């Protein structure tokens, strides 16, 4: 089965079976979007108003800024896959609750296992803390984290500030852009890291 078809089936399954309470207030679910063969997956927090209206992640102001940053490293949205830890909009864009993250986690893990990217980029502390609960975004933004988890194959993670937080904050915006520009070199480094089967 192609990854595109597998992803379609994953989303269809969770459209019916996700137990997240936010589905009662959201207009619709917002599944991940982009290239099923992507080498990089970006993970945000939760859909906002525009995403809830369109059913597509990162289509509002934060998404436009993200597209600008992608362009700066010669990538387009069609080259990457982008998703959120929580698939439904929280009322008034409040922070997602732990139980809402829990209810959407299996959906996210299935997306990640289908795509199996070389690099996962966390957009903001919510997605980073879901995988690295003890880190703070101010300490680790722009630093490559390497860790083997039981439930996914990907071992390389790059935490970044959330584009929405950086949008109207000049210095955070500059830091985010500088961190973002590290992505091509990081990918090159991962690509050149020998796998176990090549070492032995
Ligand atoms: N912010 C997010 O974290 N996700 C979106 O999809 C849009 C804005």
**181 lies in a domain?**
yes
What residue has token string 């520009």? 181
User: From ligand 1's centre to the CA of 194, what distance in Å?
Assistant: 34
Q: Is 84 in the pocket of ligand 1 (CB under 6 A)?
A: yes
User: From ligand 1's centre to the CA of 44, what distance in Å?
Assistant: 5
What is the average per-residue pLDDT within 111-126? Answer: 98
Backbone angles phi, psi at 41, to 5 degrees: -115, 130
Instruction: Look at residue 146 and tell me whether its pLDDT is greater than 60.
Output: yes
Three-class secondary structure of residue 159 per DSSP: strand
Strands 145-146 and 40-44 turn out to be: unpaired
Instruction: Look at residue 195 and tell me whether its pLDDT is greater than 80.
Output: no
User: From ligand 1's centre to the CA of 163, what distance in Å?
Assistant: 9
**137 lies in a domain?**
yes
Instruction: Look at residue 199 and tell me whether its pLDDT is greater than 70.
Output: no
Distances (CA, A) of 129 to 38, 91, 98: 23, 21, 11
**56 lies in a domain?**
yes
Encode 87-116: b = buried (16+ Cβ within 10 Å), e = exposed.
bbbbeeeeebeeebbebbebbbebbbebbe
**111 lies in a domain?**
yes
Q: Whose CA is nearest to atom 7 of ligand 1?
A: 58
**69 lies in a domain?**
yes
CATH code of 96's domain: 3.40.470.10
pLDDT per residue as tens digits for the range 59-103: 999 999 999 999 999 999 999 999 999 999 999 999 999 999 999
**132 lies in a domain?**
yes
Its domain, for residue 17, covers 3-192
Q: How far apart are CA 146 and CA 79, in angstroms?
A: 23
Q: What pLDDT does 114 receive?
A: 98
**116 lies in a domain?**
yes
**199 lies in a domain?**
no
Query: How many domains is the chain partitioned into structurally?
Result: 1
Count of CB atoms within 10 A of residue 181's CB? 13
Instruction: Look at residue 126 and tell me whether its pLDDT is greater than 60.
Output: yes
Mean pLDDT of the chain: 96
Q: Is 62 in the pocket of ligand 1 (CB under 6 A)?
A: yes
What is the average per-residue pLDDT within 169-193? Answer: 95
């Amino acid at each position: 089965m192609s990854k595109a078809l597998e992803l379609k089936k994953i989303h269809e399954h969770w459209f019916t079976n996700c137990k997240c309470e936010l589905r009662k207030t959201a207009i619709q679910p917002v599944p991940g979007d982009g290239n099923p063969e992507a080498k990089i997956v970006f993970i945000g927090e939760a859909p906002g108003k525009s995403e809830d209206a369109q059913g597509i992640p990162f289509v509002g102001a934060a998404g436009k800024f993200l597209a600008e940053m992608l362009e700066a490293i010669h990538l387009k949205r069609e080259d990457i896959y982008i998703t959120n830890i929580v698939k439904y909009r929280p009322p008034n864009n409040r922070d997602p609750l732990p139980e809402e993250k829990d209810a959407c986690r299996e959906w996210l893990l299935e997306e990640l296992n289908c795509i199996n990217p070389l690099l996962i980029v966390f957009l903001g502390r919510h997605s980073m803390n879901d995988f690295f609960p003890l880190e703070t975004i101010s300490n680790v933004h722009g630093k490559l984290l390497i860790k083997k988890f039981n439930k996914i194959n990907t071992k390389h993670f790059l935490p970044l500030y959330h584009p929405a937080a950086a949008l109207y904050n000049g210095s955070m915006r500059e830091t985010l852009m500088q961190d973002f520009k590290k992505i091509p070199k990081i990918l090159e480094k991962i690509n050149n890291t020998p796998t176990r089967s090549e070492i032995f």
